[in-house]
């Protein structure tokens, strides 16, 4: 079985105020596309409630780094009390959303995702030895790249949401 290790554990971002929900989703989607991740949307729920809309989206894009290593970034976005409001900006009216957003970022590091080293017990043993003694500096470098990708996405979303502060 492919080994999956959680490198970034529940990096959180909360925001309450004015923002554009569709632009937020498009910005996250565009970030993954420019970084070379393949998109996988696990969950997309929208419920209309009296206090406002409730939207929950879970994304799990992945990126194959080598034939042996793969990155997965899980983004859970929960938007509550979402209402559409009109705001006057630079003398014209702009439609924005008002509500609260919670984002949770997780980073997973998967090795042997094609399960090539599990066909025979001897392969599994060789893989364990290789991972422990020879590939450790190699995988540590890639773990650092995953951490920087998750932190960059976190700071990009944070900067995007701060654009809507008036």
pLDDT tens for 41-88 read: 999 999 999 999 999 999 999 999 988 889 999 999 999 999 988 888
Identify the residue whose tokens are 């969950």. Answer: 43
Measured between alpha carbons, how far apart are the two ends of the chain, in Å? 50
pTM of the predicted model as reported, rounded to 2 decimal places: 0.86
- pLDDT band of residue 90 (cuts 50, 70, 90) is confident
Residues in the chain: 166
Report d(CA 25, CA 37) in Å as an integer: 15
Cβ-contact 6, 108 below 8 angstroms? yes
Report d(CA 8, CA 135) in Å as an integer: 20
- pLDDT band of residue 164 (cuts 50, 70, 90) is low
> In this model, does residue 115 exceed pLDDT 80?
no
Percent of the chain with pLDDT over 90: 55
* Interacting residues of 83 by C-beta distance below 8 A, sequence separation 6+: 52, 53, 97, 98, 99
């Amino acid at each position: 079985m492919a080994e999956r290790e959680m490198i970034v554990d529940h990096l959180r971002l909360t925001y309450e105020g004015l923002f554009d929900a569709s632009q937020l989703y498009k910005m996250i989607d565009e970030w993954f596309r420019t970084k070379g991740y393949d998109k996988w949307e696990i969950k997309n729920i929208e419920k209309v409630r009296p206090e406002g809309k409730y939207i929950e989206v879970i994304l799990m894009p992945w990126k194959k780094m080598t034939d042996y290593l793969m990155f997965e970034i899980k983004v859970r976005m929960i938007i509550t009390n979402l209402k559409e409001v009109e705001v006057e900006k630079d003398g014209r009216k702009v439609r924005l959303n008002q509500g609260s957003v919670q984002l949770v970022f997780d980073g997973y590091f998967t090795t042997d995702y094609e399960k090539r080293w599990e066909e025979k017990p001897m392969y599994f043993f060789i893989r364990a030895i290789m991972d422990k003694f020879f590939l450790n500096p190699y995988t540590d470098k890639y773990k650092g790249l995953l951490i920087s990708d998750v932190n960059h996405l976190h700071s990009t979303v944070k900067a995007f949401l701060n654009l809507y502060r008036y």
